[in-house]
Amino acid sequence: MTLFRPVGIRELELILAADSRAFPPRLPEQPIFYPVLNQEYAVEIARDWNAPSPHRAGFVTRFEVEQAYVSRFEEKTVGARRHTELWVPAEELSEFNKHIVGRILIVAAFFGDGFQGCVPQTGRLAGLEARSQLETLSNLRDDQLVDELRTNAIPCQANYMYWRELKLSALGRIVTAWKQVHPDIPLPGEGLPG
């Protein structure tokens, strides 16, 4: 079964840290994990709720879960007919993650004014916001670029869809280097229009 989940940048970082194969545990005040059943609803949340939040970003993830397992969770409609989601108790999220098939993909992203991005603490990108990271990467020699993509893989993945929106010509070189360094890890939105 294909499901979607709108996330902010901090949750996205945790997903990426888990090799895009699991969602992070819920916080104590979050007793339910809510994957949604259609991309339209996930886009609505990411665009209208996450992007205006203090972190200024909302992402739509898409993932597959084994049908036999996921059918045990009740579908809930929480507003308009398209607002359908599953309610997975937080204590079952670890088991839920075991039934995800393949990787959690980022299929859409929305950014508010003032987006800073995932700011790394190491390497040549340390302390730089997302736009400055792209400018720095574009000015590196090939060997330096490869090293930086190894050192800061998660920030690069988390900021990649923002970089796509900037439409700078240097992005092609970064994508080529990424495929060399991480041939088995697709960049977010790879293969999507834009």
- Residue 78 DSSP symbol: -
Q: Do residues 3 and 65 touch, judged by C-beta distance below 8 A?
A: yes
Rounded Cα gap, residues 58 and 51, in angstroms:
5
- Structural element, H or E, at residue 42: helix 39-45
Residue 192: per-residue pLDDT = 59
Please state which CATH class domain 2-111 belongs to: alpha beta
According to DSSP H, which parts of 92-170 are helical? 93-98, 130-138, 142-151, 153-166
Domain ranges of the chain: 2-111, 130-181
Residue 107: per-residue pLDDT = 95
- Structural element, H or E, at residue 109: strand 100-111
- Four-point Cα dihedral 67, 70, 71, 75, nearest 10: -130
Residue 193: per-residue pLDDT = 54
Tens of pLDDT along the chain (194 residues) come to 999 999 999 999 999 999 999 999 999 999 999 999 999 999 999 999 999 999 999 999 999 999 999 999 989 988 888 889 999 999 999 999 999 999 999 999 999 999 999 999 999 999 999 999 999 999 999 999 999 999 999 999 999 999 999 988 889 999 999 999 999 998 998 765 54
Half-sphere exposure of residue 187: CA atoms within 13 angstroms, side-chain side: 22
Q: Do residues 131 and 171 touch, judged by C-beta distance below 8 A?
A: no
